[in-house]
Structure 1
């Protein structure tokens, strides 16, 4: 029996996904969550094998939630299921430890396949994501600037783009303000941008924030 947790801020999607998964005799949904805090409570309180996680949630984002879950329950497999296109987040999230990545427009049968693969301790990388990862490994590839950021740089980038101050980011990520400023300088240089306003415009233009 594969035990599953569902984290998404849309109740209808959680209900639909739970109903679909209940049709498989080897799946058991142990709980649902709509926020990052609820997601952490879920993995603390239930023996979850695979956590299905959206990127976009109120008050936080899936990247921060994934990092917190990894710290709290490192053995839990994390399947990212999001409405964002693969080119926006897939490479960064896989590099940061996601066990798999699927777009919400995928065939439901692929979700079941991904869960079974992840439950075996393997990663589920659909063809489109595999192609993006291959491009990332190719030094001649002209990938989007944000795809070349490190895990921490990407976290800081998203928070700056959403208007967070260095102090806010430092507190949220348990860093010093000086360290956050260093990350900011580094990521601006990597992305060829000059200001926080540029970061916000870039993130909006590339569909990384809404």
Structure 2
């Protein structure tokens, strides 16, 4: 029996995945969570094989949850399910510990295959993600600068791009203000920008954040 947890802040999305997965005799829903904090709290008490993780969550983001899960539960399979296409986040999430990445509009059979693959301790690559990885290895594609960011750099980058202050980020991520400032300086250099406004513009240009309402 594969125990799956669904982490998404939209109730209708959780209900859809719950109904889809509930039809399978070898899959059981361990728990559902509407936020990163709720997910991490449930992981302390509920055994789970696969975490279906949205990226855009209130409070602690999917990136934050991925980092914490990798540190605390190294055997846990994490399958990122996002409204953002593979080009935006797939390679970065896989580099930083996700076992797979799928768009929410994927076919039912692909989702089930991904869940079962990840539950076996293996990595699942969608056809598009595999293409992106092959392009990167052969040099056929030009990877955007943010693909080279570490998990922590990506965490700080996305929060800065959304307008959060250095002090707020330090508090949320349990880091010192000096450490976050160091990450900010490193991000400006790596992304070839000179201000928080340019960080935000970069994120918008590459579809990593949206102005108001967007993919989840």
Same fold (TM over 0.5): yes
Aligned to 1:45: 45
Distance, in Å, in 1 between the alignment partners of 2:164 and 2:189 is: 19
- CA deviations 1:151-205 (Å, max 9, x no partner) are 2221111111111222222222233222222221122112111100001111122
Q: RMSD of the TM alignment (CA)?
A: 1.5
Secondary structure of 1:45 counterpart: coil
Aligned to 2:11: 11
Secondary structure of 2:163 counterpart: coil
Q: Residue 44 of structure 1 contacts residue 73 of structure 1 at CA under 8 Å; is this kept in 2?
A: no
Q: Does 1:67 align with 2:67?
A: yes
Secondary structure of 1:101 counterpart: strand
Q: Does 1:173 align with 2:173?
A: yes
Distance, in Å, in 1 between the alignment partners of 2:154 and 2:62 is: 12
Aligned to 1:99: 99
Secondary structure of 1:59 counterpart: coil
Secondary structure of 1:123 counterpart: coil
Aligned to 1:125: 125
Distance, in Å, in 2 between the alignment partners of 1:158 and 1:57 is: 12
Q: Residue 37 of structure 2 contacts residue 59 of structure 2 at CA under 8 Å; is this kept in 1?
A: no
Aligned to 2:78: 78
Aligned to 1:28: 28
Q: Structure 2: any 5+ residue segments left out of the alignment?
A: 211-216
How many angstroms does 1:42 deviate by? 1.9
Q: Residue 67 of structure 2 contacts residue 151 of structure 2 at CA under 8 Å; is this kept in 1?
A: no
How many angstroms does 1:139 deviate by? 5.7
Aligned to 2:157: 157
Aligned to 1:206: 206
Q: Residue 188 of structure 2 contacts residue 194 of structure 2 at CA under 8 Å; is this kept in 1?
A: yes
Q: Residue 99 of structure 2 contacts residue 122 of structure 2 at CA under 8 Å; is this kept in 1?
A: yes
TM-score between the two structures when normalised by the length of structure 2: 0.91
Aligned to 1:89: 89
* Off by >4 Å, runs of 4+ in structure 1: 138-141
- CA deviations 1:49-91 (Å, max 9, x no partner) are 0010100112231101111222332221110011001111111
* Residues 139/179 of structure 1: CA separation in 2 closer, same or farther (3 Å cut): farther
Distance, in Å, in 2 between the alignment partners of 1:133 and 1:165 is: 34
Count matched residues. 210
Distance, in Å, in 1 between the alignment partners of 2:147 and 2:64 is: 17
Distance, in Å, in 2 between the alignment partners of 1:136 and 1:148 is: 12
Q: Structure 1: any 5+ residue segments left out of the alignment?
A: none
